[in-house]
Amino acid sequence: MKYIKFFLVGLFFGIVLTKAEAVSWYRIYEMFQFDSFHMYGIIMVAIATGVMGVQWIKRKKITDYQGQPISIPDKEKGTFRYWIGGLLFGLGWAMVGACPGPIFILMGAGFMAVGVLFIGALLGTFIYGCIKDYLPH
């Protein structure tokens, strides 16, 4: 039962991302062609909503649902990992038009071919885990 709220948040997320068409290969292509404001608008409004919410949490010292203080961990310091990792991710994102969330959402929606993307993504995650100690971070 403690998981039901996570299921519902996920359900909501899946519907929103699909109806926003952020799961569409076409929308990602259109974004990188600078042919529409749609995706930029989504990302910017999501960030703006996040900024306001996080500021509100900090100023009002809002606690989580169990009364625990909320802390959002800082990302580790790094250089290569962000530039190179980001670049590789961006290549994949524009190639197949999906980031990890949409891969799951599209599989759930029944797009069988997205299963191939999913296998590729698991493989990429696995290979990173194998060679991470040899990579500059």
Partner 1 sequence: MEIFTGTWHWAISGFLIGMVMLLLIYFGKGFGMSSNLRSLCAMTGVGKKVSFFQWDWKSQQWNLVVVLGAMVGGYLAVHFLSAPDNVAINPNTILKLQKLGIDAPNGKLLPHTLFDISALQQPKIIAFLLIGGFLIGFGSRYAGGCTSGHAITGLSTFQGQSLKAVIGFFIGGLLMTHFILPLLF
Smallest distance from the beta carbon of 59 to partner 1, in angstroms?
14
Nearer to partner 1, 59 or 79 (CB): 79
What's the distance, CA 118 to chain centroid? 14
Minimal distance in Å, beta carbon 72 to partner 1? 5
- Smallest gap, in angstroms, from Cβ of residue 61 to partner 1? 13
Nearer to partner 1 by Cβ, of 59 and 130: the residue is: 130
Q: Does residue 97 come out as left (phi exceeding 0), alpha (psi in the -120 to 50 range) or beta?
A: left
Residues forming a β-bridge with 63: 69
Q: At 97, phi and psi to the nearest 5?
A: 65, 25
